[in-house]
A and B are shown apart, each in its own frame.
Chain A
Amino acid sequence: MAAEGGGHSPIEQFAIKVVQPLKLFGYDASITNATLFMLLAVALIVGFFFVATRNPGRVPGRLQGAAEAIYEFIASTVRDNLDDGKDGRKYLPLVFSLFMFVLVANMLGMIPGFFTVTSHIIVTAALALLVISVVIIGGFMRHGIGFLKLFAPSGVPGWLMPILIPIEVISFVSRPISLSVRLFANMLAGHIALKIFAGFVGALLGAAGIAKLMAPLPLALTTALTALEFLVAFLQAYVFAVLTCVYLSDAVHGAH
């Protein structure tokens, strides 16, 4: 295929390579490139906030200002979507960590040659399962068995319940699926599309005659796509955080 210029498949970039084989209690716990980039993401986040908040001043410096801007951005998102008045605020650390991890992992993936951990569904599924577990556990801890009223909206005639309850249950169960697939699909499709259009440049340059002159066209498109991917990388992290807030508001508010 023309897109696979030089025999490289566009999905080669997602291959997981074992860096350091490791057996732990009979399980395969090898250090892979995915592990390394997740650790790098966490190290970058922790390092940045450690340095930025080391000497907090009343008048914030540049780094402290950046850290405060990020914090305020997520805090206002949580305020708007999760209701600040009651218990909502105790979920802020969770939402903040999820947002920062997804954002930094997405952005690291945009550096050419770097590995995108969020393009693997196992990573996003683990994050989504964490969110939904917190919703279920937090909901039962706050409302007890009354949390189940979430599946039976009030003010609905009784004969409608046999239809409505399965629908509500299905919509609840599909939440972690859609949450994880949305992030993973965006990252995977975006990076494949970038590779394919970049492959067109090489294929056209290798072509004979007048076709060589067309090579700048896919190059321009690749540049535009890269800009779009940066937007998508940020937006998907933001969407992940907002949807986490929306789902958590079920745990905080209970039945609607």
Chain B
Amino acid sequence: MDPVVGKYIGAGLACLGMAGAGIGLGNLFGQFLSGALRNPSAADSQRGTLLLGFALTEALGIFSLLVALLLLFVV
């Protein structure tokens, strides 16, 4: 098999890792929304925590995207 093929397959597989980040982000915003609808007055004070969780979760998806991009353009 051509090694280049393996590179592209690897890049595609690496992107599967973003599924986990997707689940995490869905959970994060879904839980925030359900909490915020139950107690709207407390929602505003927790927006910073929400964004912090968003950045931390999104970073994990970015890691797998980074592996895919490095495979495509650097290796």
Contact = CB atoms under 8 A, between A and B. Distances in A.
Contacts of A1: 72
Interface in B24-75: 51-52, 54-56, 58-59, 62-63, 65-66, 69, 72-74
The B contact surface, by secondary structure, is helix
B63 A181 contact: yes
Interface in A175-234: 181-182, 185-186, 188-190, 192-193, 232
A185 B73 contact: no
A185 B51 contact: no
B73 A235 contact: no
A239 interface: yes
A11 B66 contact: no
B56 A239 contact: yes
B55 A185 contact: no
Given A185-B59, A185-B62, A186-B62, A235 B69 contact: no
Contacts of B52: 235, 238-239, 242
Contacts of B62: 182, 185-186, 189-190
A192 B73 contact: yes
Contacts of A236: 55, 59
Residue of B52, B55, B56, B65 ringed by the most chain A CB atoms within 10 A:
B55
8 contacts: A9-B73, A10-B73, A182-B59, A185-B66, A189-B65, A236-B55, A238-B51, A239-B56
Interface of A: 1, 9-11, 181-182, 185-186, 188-190, 192-193, 232, 235-236, 238-239, 242
Given A185-B66, A192-B69, 4 more contacts: A10-B73, A186-B59, A236-B59, A242-B52
Which 8 pairs, one residue from A and one from B, show the smallest C-beta to C-beta distance? A235-B55, A182-B59, A239-B55, A185-B66, A189-B66, A189-B62, A189-B65, A192-B69
Interface of B: 51-52, 54-56, 58-59, 62-63, 65-66, 69, 72-74
